[in-house]
Amino acid sequence: MWFRYSASHVRDPLKEAEEDLELFRKRMLSPPMEGAAGPTGTWRIMKPVIHEDKCVKCGMCWLYCPENVVSWEPGRVPSIDMTYCKGCGVCASVCPRKAIEMVVEEV
């Protein structure tokens, strides 16, 4: 609404400064969080499908995924977080066994 503040409006300078600092930090300092651009899975036109039978669990999709949406541990078949996967297809492109297929996203 309407705000006015001058030297003569100052009542409790330390308290008012703390309020300002809190606002400053909230607006200026952003903590790490998933989904800074929202659920980016909605950008997807094609979606990656992992064929477990072909997967050699090499982790290349994990290594190269630009979004960090591939979960993987050595010796395991990877999985993909579809909430955020943008469907770029890098994982399919780097898979040495063509175990990831890009299929049309159905809504």
Partner 1 sequence: MSVSLPQLVKSPRKGVMPGNPACMGCPHTIGLKIVGRVLGDRAVLVVPAGCTSIIVGYGGKESLDMSFVHVPFASAAAVAAGLAAAFERKGLSDRIVIAWMGDGGGADIGFATLSGAAIRNDNIIAIVSDNEAYMNTGIQASSTTPWKARTTTSPVIGKTEEKKDLATIMLMHKVPYVATASVGYPLDFAAKLKRAAEIKGFRFIHLHSPCPTGWRFDASKTVEMAKLAVETGAWILWEYNRGRFEISPPSKPFADPSKRKPLKDYIMAQGRFSHLKDEDIEFIARKIEENWRIVRMLEKIFSS
Partner 2 sequence: MGLHRKVLIGNFAVAEAVKLARVDVVAAYPITPQTLIVERIADMVERGELKAKYIRVESEHSALAAVYGAALGGARVFTATSSHGLLYMYEVVWWAAYSKAPIVMGLVTRVIGPPWNIHSDHHDILSVRDSGWIVAMAENVQEAFDLTIQAFRIAEDKRVLQPMMVGLDAFTLSHTAEPLDVPDQSDVDAFLPPREPLPFVMDPAKPFAMGNLGPDEWTMELRWTVWRSLERAKHVIKEVDREYAKKVNGREYGGLVERYRLDDAKYVAITWGAWSGDAKEAVDKLRDEGVPIGLLRIRFARPFPREELLEVASGAKAIVVVDRAVSMGLDGVFSTEVRSVLSGRVPVKSVVAGIGGVDTSYRDFVNIFKRFVDEYEKGETQEWIVPEWYMPWFKG
Task: At 51, give phi and psi (nearest 5°).
Answer: -90, 100
φ/ψ (deg, to 5) at 90: -60, -40
For the CB of residue 18, give the shortest distance to partner 1 in the complex, in Å.
Answer: 20
Do the bridges between strand 79-80 and strand 70-71 make them parallel or antiparallel, or are there none, so unpaired? Answer: antiparallel
Strands 70-71 and 46-50: unpaired
- Cβ proximity to partner 1: between 7 and 29 the closer is 29
Nearest approach, Cβ of 99 to partner 2 (angstroms)?
Answer: 34
Of the candidate residues 30, 53, 75, 107, the single one contacting partner 2 (CB under 8 A): 30
Give the three-state DSSP class for 103.
Answer: strand
Taking CB within 5 to 8 Å according to partner kind, which of partner 2, partner 1, none is near residue 82?
none
* Min separation Cβ 13 and partner 2, Å: 5
Q: Under DSSP, is residue 53 helix (H, G, I), strand (E, B) or coil?
A: coil
- Contact residues: partner 2, CB under 8 A: 3, 5-10, 13-14, 16-18, 20-21, 23-25, 27-32
